[in-house]
């Protein structure tokens, strides 16, 4: 496990001069809310940042970074650090014919990059330009020279295109982070041309000392890439052989659809057709073959997983481990994605960043156990998605089952047990924890599902395309709290009528067609002061259909009664909601009377216009 030390020598955005941080690990995953400073830390480690075009010279120092990076106490040059972002794939291009990838093209790319980004300032005299430009561009790095306050007007470097290109060496090669054009076309060209040269020198055949084409193909760059694509289960391949025909390749490198073990040359895949996630993975895959890659590098991935679904997240980690980490490259990832955190391999080290108002952000290590619940949930979800055929059949079966239900009540929460328990207590007899679900399914003539939160429920009810539900009766139930806004804002242009009913029985709205309804919790007498449609603050959640006295029965001797009273009522803790219904089993039928108006209204709405 490596130790990475970062030192900042000047103020940079949120970070103060003399800031220092120390990270440990070979695969480091950095998370935090938006604005916590993750991307800025990546820029500090990379040691450079682009100056936006037409930046006022007075503002240029804001973009300068003076930093140092150490791996195991050894200072490393910034040329050993590569930074990638999900934004890198936005302008990804298709392969060009190799003969177009010539020296003129390389100089053109250098000029475009220089003129657009203005990566360094003119803190040196004109005679030094050739040395500065050659050294910086050759290394594919843009380290800013020391800012020279004495230079008149602190002007930006001003060189015309022809002068700029003349300053570049005759054999100048433009190395870019996006290797679709440069790296792959060049690798394929060099490999295929080398084969022709060896054949001409040694002959072609199976006898000892002669060229062995089969052995050559085993290590050819297109073979290696196809092998990686197979591991990643991507549905495309390069041809199994790429031939050289003087003075260039016989055809440009092309991806083809791969199905049932066969490369279909009649179906080429344009890179523009690939998903952003696939482009991200392929970009990293191509970078693996860069022969100039050096050991002890740091690879910075700044939210590169933004476009990745769970299967591609696993592919990303496989690539990082097999081709970077095992080759002694430290990988530091920043992320917002729960999938990335939960699917990270066991050798991952986690850190979280926290913004400070008047100081540099704070970085804290986090144990994997902190994410264990998240990890289990995402693993279960991903394992279902992994088997496509099984998942399709599973979803189709669930859809058909859903279509078979004629009456459905959707509630805000993910858990529905409190509603089912209340219905059974009012209509049957007290269930047990073990048989509560089965008893409800057996005796109730409707189903109850959770939508997760008020916004999900609002989005579902407000969907303009609800024709597929025309043979069903659907009710969406909102709590009478801030969710009332969602209930009130259901759009009239989607067919929602006016608000009807009275608060004690449950306000409701009906959608055109008469089979879809929205309603809010009926307000019992003991809560009528906290939930009114003309009241700014409303606080009626389903648990508060119980009175304060009944809730205290559920939590006898709990600190609830003293710590969680708002005005004169008790609000259940959020993390107790899942177990609330189990504790409510200790109550008697009479304690559930406040739920009766709810189920009476639900029954009426289910039967309207039948």
Domain spans of the chain, in order of start: 1-93+293-386, 180-277, 391-607
What would the pLDDT profile of 2-15 be if each residue is shown by its tens digit?
A: 999 999 998 888 99
- Give the mean model confidence (pLDDT) for residues 521-533: 89
- Give the mean model confidence (pLDDT) for residues 579-596: 91
**Quick one: which H or E segment has residue 82?**
strand 81-85
User: Around Cβ 508, how many Cβ atoms within 10 Å?
Assistant: 22
Kindly state the tokens that stand for 115.
């003129």
In 3D, which of 232, 239, 258, 298 has the Cα closest to residue 75? 298
| CA–CA dist 470, 587 (Å, integer) | 39
What would the pLDDT profile of 437-469 be if each residue is shown by its tens digit?
A: 999 999 999 999 998 888 889 988 988 777 678
What would the pLDDT profile of 190-212 be if each residue is shown by its tens digit?
A: 788 888 888 877 665 545 557 78
pTM of the shown model: 0.54
SS3 at position 321: helix
**Contacts with 315 (C-beta within 8 Å, 6 or more apart), sequence order:** 232, 281
In 3D, which of 337, 347, 345 has the Cα closest to residue 308? 337
Name the DSSP class of 36: S
Place of tokens 């500065």: 132
Let me know if domain 1-93+293-386 sits in CATH 3.60.70.12.
no
Place of tokens 């050096």: 294
**Quick one: which H or E segment has residue 531?**
none
96 has pLDDT over 70: no
551 has pLDDT over 70: yes
Q: Specify the pLDDT at position 105.
A: 60
SS3 at position 555: coil
Share the mean pLDDT of the chain. 78
Q: Specify the pLDDT at position 243.
A: 83
User: Around Cβ 561, how many Cβ atoms within 10 Å?
Assistant: 14
Angle at 213 between CA 209 and CA 215, to 5 degrees: 80
Q: Specify the pLDDT at position 195.
A: 86
What would the pLDDT profile of 56-94 be if each residue is shown by its tens digit?
A: 555 555 567 889 999 999 998 887 888 887 766 544 445
Higher pLDDT, 57 or 241: 241
Helix 372-386 to helix 388-404 angle (10° resolution) is: 90
- Give the mean model confidence (pLDDT) for residues 521-543: 87
pLDDT band for position 385 (50/70/90)?
low
pLDDT band for position 477 (50/70/90)?
very high
Whether residue 247 has a cis bond before it, omega within 30° of 0: yes
Q: Specify the pLDDT at position 139.
A: 46
Kindly state the tokens that stand for 172.
């100048």
Antiparallel, parallel or unpaired: β 362-366 and 348-354? antiparallel
C-alpha torsion 400→403→409→415, nearest 10: 10
């Amino acid at each position: 496990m490596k130790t990475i030390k970062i030192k900042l020598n000047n103020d940079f955005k949120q970070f103060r001069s003399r800031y220092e941080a120390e990270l440990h690990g070979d695969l480091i995953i950095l998370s935090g809310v938006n604005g916590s400073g993750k991307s800025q830390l990546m820029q500090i480690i990379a040691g450079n940042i682009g100056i936006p075009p037409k930046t006022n010279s007075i503002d240029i120092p804001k973009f300068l970074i003076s930093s140092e990076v150490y791996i195991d106490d050894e200072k490393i040059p910034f040329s050993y650090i590569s930074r990638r972002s999900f934004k890198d794939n936005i302008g990804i291009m298709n392969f060009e014919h190799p003969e177009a990838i010539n020296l003129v093209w390389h100089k053109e790319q250098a000029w475009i990059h220089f003129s657009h980004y203005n990566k360094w300032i003119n803190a040196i005299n004109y005679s030094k330009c050739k040395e500065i430009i050659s050294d910086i561009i050759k290394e594919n790095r843009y380290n800013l020279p020391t800012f020279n306050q004495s230079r008149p007007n602190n002007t930006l470097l001003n060189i015309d295109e022809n002068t700029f290109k003349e300053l570049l060496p005759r054999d100048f090669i433009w190395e870019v982070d996006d290797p679709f054009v440069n790296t792959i076309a060049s690798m394929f060209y060099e490999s295929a041309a080398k084969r022709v040269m060896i054949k001409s020198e040694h002959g072609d055949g199976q006898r000892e000392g002669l060229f062995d084409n089969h052995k050559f193909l085993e290590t050819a760059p297109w073979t290696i890439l196809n092998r990686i694509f197979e591991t990643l289960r991507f549905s495309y391949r390069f041809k199994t052989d790429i031939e050289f025909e003087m003075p260039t390749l016989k055809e440009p490198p092309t991806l083809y659809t791969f199905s049932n073990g066969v490369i279909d040359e009649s179906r080429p895949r344009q890179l523009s057709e690939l998903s952003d996630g696939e482009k991200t993975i392929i970009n990293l895959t191509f970078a693996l073959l860069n022969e100039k890659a050096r050991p002890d590098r740091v690879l910075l991935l700044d939210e590169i997983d933004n476009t990745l679904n769970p299967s591609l997240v696993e592919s990303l980690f496989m690539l990082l481990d097999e081709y970077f980490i095992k080759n002694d490259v430290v990988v530091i990832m920043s992320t917002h994605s729960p999938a990335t955190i939960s699917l990270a391999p066991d050798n991952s080290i986690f850190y979280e960043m926290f913004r400070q108002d008047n100081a540099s952000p704070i970085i804290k290590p986090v144990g994997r156990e902190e994410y264990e619940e998240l990890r289990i949930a995402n693993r279960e979800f991903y394992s279902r998605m992994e088997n496509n055929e099984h998942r399709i059949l599973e979803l189709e079966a669930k859809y058909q089952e859903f279509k078979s239900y004629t009456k459905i009540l959707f509630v805000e929460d993910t858990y529905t047990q409190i509603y089912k328990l209340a219905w059974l207590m009012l209509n049957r007899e007290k269930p047990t924890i073990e048989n509560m679900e089965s008893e409800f399914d057996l005796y109730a003539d409707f189903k109850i599902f959770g939508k997760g939160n008020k916004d999900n429920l609002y989005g579902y009810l407000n969907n303009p395309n609800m024709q597929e539900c025309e043979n069903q009766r659907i009710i969406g139930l909102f709590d009478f709290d801030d969710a009332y806004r969602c209930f009130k804002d259901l759009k009239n242009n989607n067919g929602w009528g006016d608000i009807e009913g009275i608060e004690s029985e449950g306000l409701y709205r009906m959608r055109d067609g008469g089979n879809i309804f929205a309603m809010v919790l009926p307000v019992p007498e003991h809560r009528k002061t906290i939930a009114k449609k003309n009241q700014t603050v409303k606080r009626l959640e389903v648990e508060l259909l119980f009175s304060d006295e009944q809730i205290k029965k559920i939590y006898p001797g709990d600190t609830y009664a003293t710590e969680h009273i708002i005005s004169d009522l008790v609000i259940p803790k959020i993390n107790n909601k899942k177990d609330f219904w189990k504790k409510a089993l200790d109550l008697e039928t009479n304690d559930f009377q406040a739920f009766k108006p709810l189920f009476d209204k639900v029954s009426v709405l289910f039967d309207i216009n039948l």
